[in-house]
Amino acid sequence: MARRPVTIVTGGSRGIGAATCVRLAAAGHDLVLGYAKDDAAAEATAARVREAGARCVTVRGDTSQECGVERLFDIAGAELGTVTGLVNNAGVTGPLGRLADATTDDLRRVVEVNLLGYLLCCRRAARDMSEAGGGYGGVIVNVSSAAATLGSPGEYVHYAATKAAVDTLTVGLAKELGPDGIRVNAVAPGIVETDMHAAMGDPDRPARAAAGIPLGRPGQPEEIAGAIAWLLSPEASYTTGTVLRVAGGR
């Protein structure tokens, strides 16, 4: 029997991450679902994943902390076997507003979760997946944002800057890890209907933004999950180092 892919999705409990877990379960992956605080949301998504026939382990922890990331991968390996996929998705924005009004704590948190957290997860994935190191190779998908190229003035330039860094990380790491049998790509969503907008202080933001989106509406988490699942699939076997924009034309 062919080995099933074992894929870690950070921030897999809600929003884009949850849709990705459910989509990957249907595509034959076993899942490790990482999350920060909301146990009920994690268990609800894990139940949907198991209904789709996949094994699923939930791991609570902070991806901006080295110990949280090491524990996430250690549990993944112990419970489900050698990790072959990583979806780096856990992200935060802090409150909407101008840089001049942002607190240092908010700036630090956004950089630590969105950039340091992605780096820590990529580093451990590189170690675990490397064929030279005894792994099976694998695929990393970094969830970036259209903000990386739009800049997001007046909203969160600091968040946009971390996502631009994620794009650069993707390009460089793809070149570094190609010889190890590891593909690295990013998906850059536009405005997607998730709880993230309420968390940044503006739950109606997706509906209001619709007029400025060429396709005339915000995206749904499932539409981002489809792109992530494709990049993880054998269909994308020659695709590495790319940033796939899924933003309704924005």
Report how far apart, in Å, the C-alpha atoms of 48 and of each of 24, 34, 166, 188 are.
11, 15, 29, 25
Rounded to the nearest whole angstrom, what is the least distance from the CB of residue 220 to ligand NAP in the complex?
10
Q: How far apart are CA 86 and CA 135, in angstroms?
A: 14
User: Which residue matches tokens 């990380």?
Assistant: 169
Distance CA 72, CA 114 (A): 17
Residue 20 CB, shortest distance to ligand NAP, in Å, is 9
Binding ligand NAP (rule: CB under 6 A), the pick from 5, 15, 85, 138 is 15
Identify which of residues 42 and 135 has a Cβ nearer to ligand NAP in the complex.
Answer: 42
Dihedral sign computed on CA atoms, order 191, 118, 110, 21: positive
Nearest to 22 by CA among 2, 57, 43, 51: 51
In the shown chain, the binding pattern of residues 173 to 212 toward ligand NAP, with x for contact by CB under 6 A and - for none, equals ----------------x-xx-xxx--x-------------
Q: How far is the CB of 238 from ligand NAP (least distance, A)?
A: 25
Please count the residues of this chain forming the interface with ligand NAP, following the rule CB under 6 A.
30
> Does 142 interact with ligand NAP (rule: CB under 6 A)?
no
Q: Does 143 bind ligand NAP (CB under 6 A)?
A: yes
159 is catalytic: yes
Residue of 98, 93, 96 lying closest to 109 (CA atoms): 93
Residues that bind ligand NAP (CB under 6 A): 10-11, 13-17, 34-38, 41, 62-64, 89-92, 113, 143, 145, 189, 191-192, 194-196, 199
Residues with a known catalytic role: 159
